[in-house]
Amino acid sequence: MSDGQEKQAVQGRFITFEGGEGAGKSTQITRLKNRLEAQGTQVAVTREPGGSPGAEKIREVLLSGQARDLGPRGEAMLFAAARADHVDKTILPALESGSWVLCDRYADSTRVYQGEAGVDPQYLDLLETLAVAGIRPELTILIDVPADVGMARVSSRSQKAEGAAPDRFEDEALQVHERRRVLFLDLARKEPHRFAVIDGRQDQDAVEDMIWQAVRSHFPEVDPDEGKAAAKTSESADGALS
């Protein structure tokens, strides 16, 4: 999107997932994708930072900590640069093709993570406007877990991955994670129509159901019975239904 103009003529639906470390976003994104696909919806899953070849390169620089010397403002610029490419190369084309896009983190993560690190909110607003070029989520699922619960999940995950080191943004004191949690909840309070806040301490099936309810109430075209009906029909395709 080199002309810097805001794009509007998109057909698919854009849903973002947000939350602190260990909230369980990726599991739930997969579950929502499966449910939507079961009712015939085309779904693209993507993530930030990353989601396009150029943005994945910036991801590597950011998460390895190589950009730490730039300071939080410089890092915020890199997140924005990655986002601009991601919107251009992945999100917008998918939406234009009629696909639903489920994105693991988006601009709210910058507001929270780089905001918590001290970057001026007006500076972040400006970067966001440039990076997203009008492509904003219709629904944001915020999976909320207390910082200690999330970090315990992350550390058990790293142990299973045989000592994988925490990335640049995981590797912070518990108070930092707790402040991020508060900032996410503040954003949700400011935009209650866009956000659905889900209690991520529940078991995965319960979280999945809460998310499905939020999606249904946000998008009336989602029919709760259609997915099940489609699955049943294909199971008995050679059977009684003729």
Site for ligand TYD in 59-78 (CB under 6 A): 63
Q: Which is nearer to ligand TYD, 41 or 109 (CB)?
A: 109
Determine contact, residues 84/2, Cβ cutoff 8 Å. no
Q: What angle do CA 174, 171, 28 make, to 5 degrees?
A: 80
Cis-peptide into 220, omega within 30 deg: no
Q: Which is nearer to ligand TYD, 64 or 217 (CB)?
A: 64
21 lies in the site for ligand TYD, by CB under 6 A: yes
Q: Residue for token digits 């919806």?
A: 41
- Tokens describing residue 135: 């492509």
Stretch that binds ligand TYD, among 35-43, 46-54, 183-191, 215-223 (CB under 6 A): 46-54
CA distance 210 to 213: 5
Question: 24: alpha, beta or left, given left = phi > 0 and alpha = psi -120 to 50?
Answer: left
Per-residue contact string for residues 145-184; x = within reach of ligand TYD by CB under 6 A = ----------------------x-xx--------------
Position among 12, 49, 72, 115 found at the interface with ligand TYD (CB under 6 A): 49
- Distance in Å, CB of 238 to ligand TYD, minimum: 42
- Closest C-alpha among 108, 115, 141, 135 to residue 25: 141
Position among 43, 110, 139, 151 found at the interface with ligand TYD (CB under 6 A): 110
Determine contact, residues 70/58, Cβ cutoff 8 Å. no
Binding site for ligand TYD (CB under 6 A): 21, 47-49, 63, 79, 104-105, 109-110, 113-114, 167, 169-170
